[in-house]
Structure formats: C-alpha cells, structure tokens
Amino acid sequence: MTLEPVLPPGLRELIDARGPADLVVGIPSCNNAGTIGEVVRAVQAGLAERFPGVSAVIVNADGGSTDGTPEAARAALPEACPPLLAQYPVHPVHRVVPPYHGVPGKGSALGTVFAAAGALGARACAVVEADLRSLRPEWMERLLAPVLEGFDFVAPLYLRHKFDGTINTSIVYPLTRALYGWRIRQPIGGDFGCSGRFVRHCLGQPVWEADLARFGIDAWVTTTAVTGGFRVCQSFLGAKVHDAKAPDLALAGMLHQVVGSVFELMESHEDAWQGVRGSAAVPLFGVEPPVGLDPVRVDAARMVRAYRRGVRELEGIWSLVLGLEAMEELRRIGVWDPSRFLFPEELWVRVVYDFAVAFHRGVMDRQHLLEALTPLYLGWVASFVGETRHAGAAAVAAMEERMCLQFEAQKPELSGLWSRRSP
C-alpha cells in the first residue's frame, strides 16, 4: 500500500483559509536560523519581481528546529504575506544516521512541501535549501519559468570549482547519464523546480517511508523525472555556497549515502536503463553567470596513502568484487610515487560498475561494500587532482566528458553482468 505524505496538523486549515496558489516554493529546514531569513527574503523578492500578479506561497517545512528557525522565517516577511510554517516528524534514525547534506529527514520535508503544493493546486513548485548563502532572487525565475513553459522538472546547474563535488563528477553524473541517457549535470542538486503533474506523480509513489526518502531523496527525485516520461531541462543558477557543515559529516558518510542511493535506484529502475545506449543533452535555460569560485584545497598525497592502505588491507574484499585483471592493475598503480600516481579512466569505470553489480547481487553487507569503495574513490580523486591541478576549465571539462563517454562505452558490459545469475 502506498502511503502518501499528509499535511501536518494545522497546515490544512491554513491552506483552506488561504485558497489556491499558482506557485509554491518549499524550504526544508532544521536549525538554519542563521540563513533562512535571507533565503526567504530572496525567494519573496524573486517571486515579486519575476512573477508579479501571480499567486504564490512559501512553505517552510521544518524538522523540529531548536534555534528559532521557524520564527526567523516568519520574521523575514511582512505580516501581509507570511510563509506557511509546517513541522514534520524527525524520527530517531534521522538523528543517529544524519544525511550527508541538508536537513534530517529531508524526504519527510519534501513530502510535506509536495502535499502542500498538491492541496494548493499549484501549477509549479520549486524547492530550495535553507542553508544557502548564494541564493539570488533570479533563481525563482530560473526554476519556475521553464515549468510554466511546459517542462515538468528543472534540474539545477551550478558553477563549481574543479575539485569540488567530485562524488558527483566522478560517479553520480557519469553513471546516471550512462544509465538513463540524459545529461543532467547535477542529479543530486537539492534545488529544483517541477510541475504540478510531477508533484502528483511523486505523491503517489511508495518511497516516503523508505530509506531512500531519508538519505537519497535528491537522487530519487531526478531519477523519477528521467524515467517517468517527464519533460526535463536544466537551468543555470551560478555558484552554490552553503552554510558551514558540522565536522562529523565526513566524506565516507557522504559517499556511502549518495552512491548507495544511486545503486538502489538502479535496482528499482532496471527496466528503464537496461536498453539505453548513449546519451542526449537536455534543454538549458539561462547563461553561465560570471562569478568567482573560492579555491578548494585537496591533499592528494593523503588520498594516495589511503588508497595504498586499501590495497594492503582490503585486497580480499576487493577480490570478491573485481576481476583478476582489475586487481592486478590496482596493485600496480598502488606502488607508484604520489607525484606520478595515475588511475586510468577505463579502470575507474570498471570499478564503479563492478561495485554496482556486487551491490545488486548481495556479495556482502552493503555498508561494508560501500566502505570498501572509499579508498578506491580517493585514489581516483588523487589521480584527477594530479592531472588537472594546472588545467583550465576547458581541459577539465574535456577530461570529464572523456570519462562520461567511457561510462557509456562500458554500459553493455554492465548490462550483461547485471542480468547474469550469481555464480
């Protein structure tokens, strides 16, 4: 039985009293008092400037903030146009295993926003994160205008430093591109726009009580859009700057949650990707804004050491996942000097695909499997940093495209391994 998100107590009465709205902007939050005021004001300014005369509602779905976040959201707007405030439940698992980014229980927050958008009869809905320090009023036009022109899903396109977001550029983007055949650069962007039709479709899906809703809702939303027959596009938003994150949100947890979610989605959407070959561009709105990017410092030598430690300590586990030829290559590059460390693209793609197949077959506990992938990922990033440290944007883009094409070239082998019965 599908359990659709329901409106929290009190929100239904507020919606009924207010009446329908054409546009809804949802802001999931949890302890974001320091940033949500500016986010709400930027959203309101964007709606007023770009959509004058169009009825719009801002919905703040808060996960039990203790720092006054809802009060800060309410104070950011005049009494004549207050945001709709809703509390959603944050379960113990959300606190014990926090998401790699964003608010605890973001799936529940998104469900609340979608339920509100459905009840308001919204034609278009946008979702933005509460800890943004780079949101500008023009984001509203870039996320909502394409929907009003007929698109169902608007993915964000951010400007990022070449060493920022490497989980996306080295795994999530090329993998989802090869799987589903669409070149959406930020499949886990967090900020997006969508149609009322897409909202209604999502509300009827059996995801809201699943782990994907807790830790992989961003990947789920994008995958649902590209596999459900919806019209998708991208829109330039510029640089994305977040509030500072807690130090315990480490790389390992981020990698496990993101990649685990993508692998899990591969299982539930197998019929949608098995026959796909190649990829196509999606329509792009806006122009790339001229903004500067803060430098990102990367300790490549430390990453190489972590990779070498993996070669020594995880060879037995890796051998359960990877073939003899791949294992031999991994040993060989592990003895190279860090200054000339090189992880071949073809080998990296083979590693990602083999781990996806092992995840599907249940070769071992899935958490242990993803933990074993971490030093391999660090080795790949160290190699990428070494190759591109002095490279310009065009050269980096060419390298990333070359790797994406390698993902596409090896896709038939993935399909065969995925369908083959375990030995």
Model confidence at 256: pLDDT above 50: yes
139 has a pLDDT exceeding 90: yes
Under 8 Å between Cβ of 99 and 246: no
For position 247, what pLDDT does the model report? 35
The verdict on 333 and 379 lying in the same domain is: yes
Q: Considering just the CA atoms, what is the radius of gyration of the chain in Å?
A: 22
User: Could you say which DSSP state residue 339 is in?
Assistant: G
In a domain, residue 191? The reply is: yes
- Phi, psi of 193, deg, nearest 5: -125, 155
Check residue 163 and give its pLDDT.
79
* C-alpha span between 400 and 40 (Å, rounded): 35
Secondary structure E strands in 46-148: 56-62, 84-87, 124-127
Query: Can you give the pLDDT at residue 98?
Result: 43
The verdict on 144 and 246 lying in the same domain is yes
Q: Which of 81-90, 252-261, 344-353 has the lowest mean pLDDT?
A: 81-90
Q: What is the mean pLDDT of residues 377-404?
A: 90
| Within a domain: 1 | no
The two tokens of residue 36 are 């949500």
Domain assignment present for residue 26? The answer is yes
Categorize the per-residue pLDDT at 289 as very low, low, confident or very high, splitting at 50, 70 and 90: low
Average pLDDT score over residue span 97-103 = 46
Looking at the structure, tell me whether residues 323 and 255 fall in a common domain. Answer: no
Task: Let me know whether 129 and 215 are in one domain.
Answer: yes
Using CA atoms of 117, 120, 123, 125 in order, give the dihedral in degrees to the nearest 10. -30
Q: In terms of domains, do 259 and 323 share one?
A: no
User: Is 293 among the domain residues?
Assistant: no
Query: 213 pLDDT exceeds 50?
Result: yes
Token pair, residue 122, equals: 């919204």
- How many folded domains does the chain comprise? 2
Confidence class for position 92, pLDDT limits 50, 70, 90: very low
Instruction: Tell which wins on pLDDT, 9 or 100.
Output: 9
Is residue 168 a contact partner of residue 262, using CB atoms and an 8 Å limit?
no
274 and 321 assigned to the same domain: no
> Residue 420's pLDDT is what?
80
- According to the model, what pLDDT value does residue 5 have? 74
Backbone angles phi, psi at 233, to 5 degrees: -155, 175
Output the CA–CA distances (angstroms, integers) from residue 359 to 92, 134, 400, in the order listed: 26, 37, 25
The reply to whether 116 falls in a domain is yes
Long-range contacts, stretch 316-324, CB < 8 angstroms, 24+ apart: 317/364, 317/368, 317/369, 317/372, 318/372, 318/376, 320/358, 320/363, 320/364, 321/354, 321/355, 321/358, 321/363, 321/369, 321/372, 322/350, 322/351, 322/354, 323/354
Cα–Cα dist 108/106, whole Å: 5
Question: Do 277 and 204 belong to one domain?
Answer: yes
Q: How far is CA 354 from the centre of its chain?
A: 22
Of the three residues 285, 320, 350, the one that is the final residue of a domain is: 285
Domain boundary among 230, 250, 285: 285
pLDDT of residue 248: 35
Residue-level pLDDT at 300: 85
pLDDT at 149: 97
Q: Is the pLDDT of residue 130 over 60?
A: yes
What is the C-alpha separation between 126 and 92, in angstroms, rounded? Answer: 28
Portion of the chain with pLDDT greater than 90, in percent: 63
Asked if residue 4 is part of any domain, the answer here is no
pLDDT at 104: 55
- Whether the CB-CB separation of 286 and 155 falls below 8 Å is answered with no
Residue 101 pLDDT greater than 80, yes or no: no
Which residue, 285, 308, 340, sits at the end of a domain? 285
Q: Is residue 5 part of a domain?
A: no
Whether residue 6 lies inside any domain: the answer is no
Determine contact, residues 163/170, Cβ cutoff 8 Å: no
Report how far residue 217's alpha carbon sits from residue 171's, in angstroms, rounded to the nearest whole number: 17
Count of CB atoms within 10 A of residue 17's CB?
Answer: 7
Range of the domain at 343: 300-419
Residues 123 and 182 in one domain: yes
Query: What is the reported pLDDT for 63?
Result: 82
Same domain, 232 and 318: no
Q: Per-residue pLDDT tens for 392-417?
A: 888 988 999 999 999 999 999 999 99
Q: Indicate whether 102 pLDDT > 60.
A: no
82 with 166, same domain: the answer is yes
What integer best gives the mean pLDDT of the chain? 87
pTM over 0.75: yes
* 66/143 same-domain check: yes
For 295, residues 6+ apart whose C-beta sits below 8 A from its C-beta are 161
CATH of residue 219's domain is: 3.90.550.10
**How many CB atoms lie under 10 A from the CB of residue 138?**
18
Q: Note whether 356 and 241 are same-domain residues.
A: no
- pLDDT at position 19 is 85
Residue 210 identity = A
When pLDDT is averaged across residues 313-321 and rounded to a whole number, the result is 95
